[in-house]
Structure 1
Amino acid sequence: MSNVIVVGCGRVGSQLANMLSDNGSNVCVIDRNPDAFANLGRNFNGSVLQGIGFDEETLLKAGIEECDVVAAVTQLDNTNLMVAEVAGRLFGVPHVIARLYNPDHERAYMQLGIDYVCGTSLVAEDVFSKVVAGHGSHLDTFGEFEVLRFSLNLNGLGKKTIRVSEMERDHDVRIIAFERGDGSASSIPTRDSILYHGDTVLACVRHELIESFSQYIQD
């Protein structure tokens, strides 16, 4: 069960908070406007906190010191950027995701190495997929693709090895590189390369496929 702070309780933030709550996460929603919490509805199981999302005291009250993920999804890019910087750099939150409302600001987000979702539709679904994919597994975003670095989990398949071609075919991903779990070797794979449970894998995955692919990501 993960601890998630969602900053912003508009349409996107409230939808995301409900999705995460329904998925079993402990969710705290921050918004400066207390009336915004009405967007969550009666079935929301998390907590709410009135305040400014990049204020240190507010974040401490929200439990940021035990937080796995912070999602800054207000309609103000500067606010989301400040939340991401404070959460990531000051508090060391493992996975910080920011909504990018104006694509003109994309370069700034990329230069700062911030994980982001750009757009005005399906934003909640995209952020949810990033959270479900596993904390700290994200490396970069390229358009509709995510580059992930993770420890390979094959427990759900009931076997200890898998061929690269099988992973790529079944999940429409590209395995870029891998390193053996014991650090003995690393390689750029061919389609016939064999991966072992516990290997470190670098993969390129489409946004919409991250949730289904997350079965391979070891927490």
Structure 2
Amino acid sequence: MANVIIVGCGRVGSQLANMLSSNDRNVCVVDIQAEAFANLGRSFNGATLQGLGYDEDVLIRAGIEDCDTVAAVTSSDNTNLMVVEVARRIYGVPHVIARLYNSRREDAYMKLGLDYVCGTALVAEEIFSKIMVGRGSHLDSFGDFEIMRFSINLEHVSNRQIRVGELERNHGVRIVCFIRAKDGDSSIPSKDSILYDGDSVVACIRHDLLQSFGKFIKK
């Protein structure tokens, strides 16, 4: 069970918290205003904590020392940046995600190596997909796409192998390169290249397809 801290309990934070808790994630929501927790509704079964989201004492009480993911989704870009920087630099949280309002800051976030979601539409759904897939395979974000490295899971595919062209055509992904699990040989694939279960893959995947593609990523 993943431990997730969400900082900000507005419309996005509350929606994200309910989506995660209903998918068996252990969630703690932090907000500076206690009345914001009313947005969660009665179905939310996680924890809430009033306090400043980048305060170390607050984050420790929220469980950051055993945390897998921190998502900062307040209405302030500066606050969100401070939250994720404290989480990753001080506590080594493996997956931090910031909501970004000012698109002119995207280049700065990319240079910092931060995972973020920019814009107002479907923000909770995008962050939910990122959390469900996991950080271990994430390399970078680029526009509407995630660039990821992972060991491919083909246990559910016949003969545990698949052609690159079939995978790309049916699942909206682009395979950039791969390394064979059995011998370490690397290659830039053609459409006819075959991937085998356990091969290491670098791929470009649209944000909105992350959750459905998750079955191809070994945990």
| TM-score > 0.5 by shorter chain | yes
Taking the TM superposition and a 5 Å limit, the aligned residue runs for 1:33-112 are 33-112=33-112
Counterpart in the other structure of 2:117:
117
Cα separation, 1, equivalents of 2:136 and 2:183:
20
2:73 and 2:151 map into 1 onto residues whose CA distance is 28
| Residues in 1 aligned to 2:35 and 2:9: alpha-carbon distance in whole angstroms | 9
Q: Does 2:127 correspond to 1:127?
A: yes
Shift of 1:158: 5.2
Letter of the structure 1 residue corresponding to residue 160 of structure 2: K
Please tell me whether the aligned partners of residues 134 and 214 of structure 1 are also in contact (alpha carbons under 8 angstroms). Answer: no
- Partner Cα separation in structure 2 for residue 217 and residue 4 of structure 1: 20
Equivalent in the alignment of 2:32:
32
Q: Percent identity?
A: 64
Partner of residue 209, structure 1: 209
What one-letter code is carried by the residue in structure 2 that aligns with 1:95?
A: H
CA distance in 1 between counterparts of 2:194 and 2:22 reads 36
Query: Following the alignment from structure 2 to structure 1, what is the Cα–Cα distance between the partners of residues 52 and 77?
Result: 14
Amino acid at match of 1:61: R
Q: Counterparts of 1:114 and 1:213 in 2: how far apart (Å)?
A: 22
Aligned to 2:188: 188
Q: Distance in 1 between matches of 2:74 and 2:25?
A: 20
Deviations 1:43-63 (A, max 9, x none): 101000111111111111111
- Aligned partner of residue 107 in structure 1, secondary structure: helix
1:97-135 CA distance string (max 9 Å, x none): 110011122222111110000001210011011111223
Give the SS at the match of 1:175: strand
* Counterpart-to-counterpart distance in 1, 2:207 and 2:81: 21
What's the secondary structure of 1:148's corresponding residue?
Answer: strand
**Residue 154 (1) aligns with residue 142 (2):** no
> 2:164 maps to what in 1?
164
8 Å contact kept, 1:134–1:217: no
Amino acid at match of 1:91: Y
Conserved? CA contact 1:99–1:117, under 8 Å: yes
Match for residue 142 of structure 1? 142
Q: Could you say what the CA RMSD is over the residues aligned between the two structures, in angstroms? A: 1.2
> Partner amino acid for 2:145?
F
1:182: how far off?
A: 4.6
Query: Bigger CA drift: 72-81 or 183-192?
Result: 183-192
Name the SS for the 1:80 alignment partner. helix
TM-score normalised according to structure 1 size: 0.96
Matched length? 219
SS in 1 for 2:117: strand
Q: Which moved more, 1:39-48 or 1:83-92?
A: 83-92
Superposition deviation, residue 183 in structure 1: 5.6
Amino acid at match of 1:51: G
Q: Which moved more, 1:95-104 or 1:176-185?
A: 176-185
Aligned residues of 1:70 and 1:93 also touching (Cα < 8 A): yes
**CA 1:158–1:36 in structure 2 vs 1: closer, same or farther (change >3 Å)?**
farther
Shift of 1:209: 0.7
Once the 2 structures are TM-superposed, how far is the Cα of residue 29 of structure 1 from its aligned partner? 0.4
What letter matches 2:97 in structure 1? I
Q: Is the 8 A contact 1:69 1:94 kept in 2?
A: yes
